[in-house]
């Protein structure tokens, strides 16, 4: 496989469930990102990992728990979610960001999450 892949593509879960989203990149990048895209809202950056270290957490509720075991894999663990967490969750990767650099983020197809 090439590029950035995400599984599952669709997920329906209850508020008491625990599930995980998986992202894998085959581009040799060292930085990975989770974004949330809700209807009628701009894309929101959730977490950033650079060389497996979390470098950004944009005030995301603790019911979202990221994990980055290596530079190619990124997980988002979900537990006790709320209906307003229903959204498209996008994973992206890039070369490690540098000051003033031109590193482009490449996105996966996303996971459409519905919380009932």
What residues make contact with other proteins under the rule CB under 8 A? 31, 33, 41-43, 45, 48, 50, 55-56, 88, 90, 92, 97-110, 112
Task: Between 62 and 98, name the residue whose CB sits nearer to other proteins.
Answer: 98
User: Is there a cis peptide before residue 8, judged by omega within 30 degrees of 0?
Assistant: yes
Bridge-based pairing state of the strands 53-57 and 64-70: unpaired
Task: Between 63 and 97, name the residue whose CB sits nearer to other proteins.
Answer: 97
Least distance (Å) from other proteins to the CB of residue 74? 15
Least distance (Å) from other proteins to the CB of residue 17? 22
Least distance (Å) from other proteins to the CB of residue 16? 27
Element (H, E) at 40: none
Taken in order 96, 99, 103, 108, the sign of the CA dihedral is positive
DSSP state of 81: -
Least distance (Å) from other proteins to the CB of residue 109? 4
Quick check: 23 and 5 in contact, CB under 8 A? yes
Task: Between 66 and 110, name the residue whose CB sits nearer to other proteins.
Answer: 110
């Amino acid at each position: 496989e090439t590029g950035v892949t995400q599984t599952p593509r669709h997920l329906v879960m209850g508020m008491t469930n625990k599930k995980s989203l998986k992202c894998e990149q085959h581009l040799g990048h060292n930085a990975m990102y989770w974004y949330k895209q809700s209807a009628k809202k701009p894309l929101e950056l959730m977490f950033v990992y650079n060389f497996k270290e979390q470098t950004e957490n944009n005030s995301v509720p603790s019911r979202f728990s990221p994990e980055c075991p290596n530079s190619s894999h990124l997980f988002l663990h979900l537990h006790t979610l709320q209906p307003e967490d229903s959204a498209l969750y996008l994973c992206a990767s890039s070369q490690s960001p540098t000051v003033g650099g031109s590193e482009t983020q490449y996105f996966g197809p996303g996971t459409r999450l519905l919380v009932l």
